[in-house]
Amino acid sequence: MRSLFLAALVFAACTPGQIIMPPPTPVEPPTLSLVTVTPVDTTRPTSSTVMSSLSATGLSLVSGQVAVVSVDAVAVRAGMATTPVPVGPMGDDALGTVRQLGRRGAASLWLTSTGVYLERSGRLLRSPLSDSLPLPQVRAIDVVGEGAAETWWVRTDDAVLRATSGGVDAIALNDPNGGGLIKAAVGRDGASVIVVQGARLYLVEVDAPKVTVLATGLGAVTQSARLGDGTAALATAQGLVRVSPTNELTLTAFGPVAAVHDVAADGDAALVQSNGLLLSLLVDEARVLGDVAAPVVSGVVRDTAGAVFTLDGDALKRLATTAEEQPVRYADVKPFFTARCTSCHSSGANYAPIIDFTTYNKAKMWAAQSLARVQNGDNPMPPVASGLLRPSQYAVLERWVQGGLLP
């Protein structure tokens, strides 16, 4: 009753158009089966504590640099100290209480008690869209598109709002078998959004208008992110749920405990926190980036220099992960050969010449030629029928060759 009353107030205050979606098409959603991925744990990047005894609540990026967020300020790291980021055109506005952090492309977004702030040239400026949103009710914001096509998917407890320069619409789901709080809204584009309400996962196509139940029986969602390739990733008590742009669903665990506490986008990869580890996940390959001491890491970002920062309890930790800092060794590239190449080349299957990638000395002999073929779109390896590899998928081979083929 109370939430209905609140919702009515919200609509009255902001007069958004209300869109009531049709009930979902009655299809039995597939049951999600859990796949456990064992993370590759070879050479861990060196981890160093950059600052300790911080009273930080999260991490953001400001001009590509890591910024520590506290209750009412954002400060960029400068060596072992931080400098506050000025707020407002004159630099003397108050940020208010920071309630949520978000991403807008490669940039950050701050939702505070006084508005939604975006960064421009090293300053935090209040977005004019702030005035169209029911700020006290907003739980999270996900931004898709750029320029005139920019769309904000805004989540409150009982509605998903779509905000554009043209206005705000409140989108209400209408599932007779659903209900409960809205726990995630990850935009796909300006017209469709992945929504978790209660224990149900939906694809909501607003303009169609069409709602599809993608999964039921979801565990508690603690974080969500949109990866570079458009995949929606949800950290849940039952594992990492991923919804690809073609609606393929996966549920992944990374060790004995299925729960995934945090997920953040890192290009096409996901930075995942599970089982006391910070992992980098690309498609179905997970690598250990480091250990985390705190039960839940409250932030993880990668700066423009390529270093990953995490907030582990009250400490800011830095993981050296750029190519220069962390050379790729044979042990790092071997899993790539095993996963992508040996199915044909160890036995000569599919008329492939026998190439031994399982020892350093043999793999080294074929490395340059292998990289050339992997990069050759006209005559690729693996052959086109097995699906072209994206650059991010063969980066490890590229870095091994560039780094001088270390044993």
Between 320 and 405, name the residue whose CB sits nearer to ligand HEC.
Answer: 405
Between 309 and 336, name the residue whose CB sits nearer to ligand HEC.
Answer: 336
Between 57 and 375, name the residue whose CB sits nearer to ligand HEC.
Answer: 375
Rounded CA-CA distance 191/88 in Å is: 32
Task: Provide the minimum distance between the beta carbon of 345 and ligand HEC in the complex, in angstroms, as a whole number.
Answer: 6
Residues in CB range of 245: below 8 A, 6 or more apart: 188, 229, 230, 231
Between 281 and 363, name the residue whose CB sits nearer to ligand HEC.
Answer: 363
Q: What one-letter code names the amino acid at 41? A: D
Rounded CA-CA distance 324/319 in Å is: 13
Task: Provide the minimum distance between the beta carbon of 341 and ligand HEC in the complex, in angstroms, as a whole number.
Answer: 3
The residues that touch ligand HEC, with contacts defined as CB under 6 A, are 340-341, 343-345, 350-353, 366, 369-370, 373-374, 381-383, 386
Residues in CB range of 9: below 8 A, 6 or more apart: none
Between 67 and 397, name the residue whose CB sits nearer to ligand HEC.
Answer: 397
Q: What one-letter code names the amino acid at 357? A: F
Inter-residue long-range contacts of 341-346, CB under 8 Å, 24+ positions, other chains counted: 341/370, 341/381, 341/382, 344/382
Q: What one-letter code names the amino acid at 313? A: G
Between 115 and 382, name the residue whose CB sits nearer to ligand HEC.
Answer: 382
| Separation of first and last alpha carbons in the chain | 66
Residues in CB range of 114: below 8 A, 6 or more apart: 94, 95, 96, 126, 130, 135
Task: Provide the minimum distance between the beta carbon of 347 and ligand HEC in the complex, in angstroms, as a whole number.
Answer: 10
> Cα angle at 130 between 125 and 136, to 5 degrees?
120
Task: Provide the minimum distance between the beta carbon of 355 and ligand HEC in the complex, in angstroms, as a whole number.
Answer: 6
